[in-house]
Amino acid sequence: VETFDNALIAAMKGGKALGAKGRAKQLSPAVQRAFDLPSMAAFAVGPTWSTFTPAQKSQVIEAFTRLSVASWAHNFDSYSGEQFVIDANVQTRGADKVVQAKLVHGGGAPVNLIYRMRQSGGGWKVIDVFYNNVSQLTTRRSDLASTVASGGAAGVTAKLNAMADNLLK
């Protein structure tokens, strides 16, 4: 989490000069290292995931990854002295670990971020981020529900890519 937060700060420092696409390019490796994007994509799609072919799953994961990177690049677009403070008290919830962090900036209330992590591929990976106590993964699942039902894998891939394109403008 600390390494990822440091990558966010670096991208924020690039701010407007990098633009959304530049920040996304800079953040992409950090997002892919820190997050279990295949598991997150499967959860966001829901039970229908099991009906997708391997090729469809791969396309959805690629689009979900692109949207995840675009979201971080869009939401962390400038720097004015912010810093992340990570709570050293990591909580255990079943097989998961919960890491709490605050984004502290001058004059404003700190922003609480909670990273839910799980063992994946030999290391700990983020499987969800809670922003103001709202699961971003559950929100994404809700955003995709009607598209999953009406458009299947192709519809989900198209919607994820369209959402990413919008954030990268």
pLDDT digits (tens, 9 = 90+) for 141-169: 999 999 999 999 999 999 999 999 999 99
| Distance separating alpha carbons of residues 127 and 144, to the nearest angstrom | 17
**What is the pLDDT averaged over residues 128-149?**
96
Nearest Cα residue to 129 out of 62, 57, 36, 47: 36
- Type and span of the H or E element at 16: helix 2-34
What pLDDT sits at residue 129? 97
| Distance separating alpha carbons of residues 84 and 113, to the nearest angstrom | 10
Q: What is the pTM of this model?
A: 0.95
Average pLDDT, the chain: 96
Beta-strand relationship, 123-131 and 111-120: antiparallel
**What is the pLDDT averaged over residues 58-71?**
98
Q: How confident is the model at residue 108 (pLDDT cuts 50, 70, 90)?
A: confident
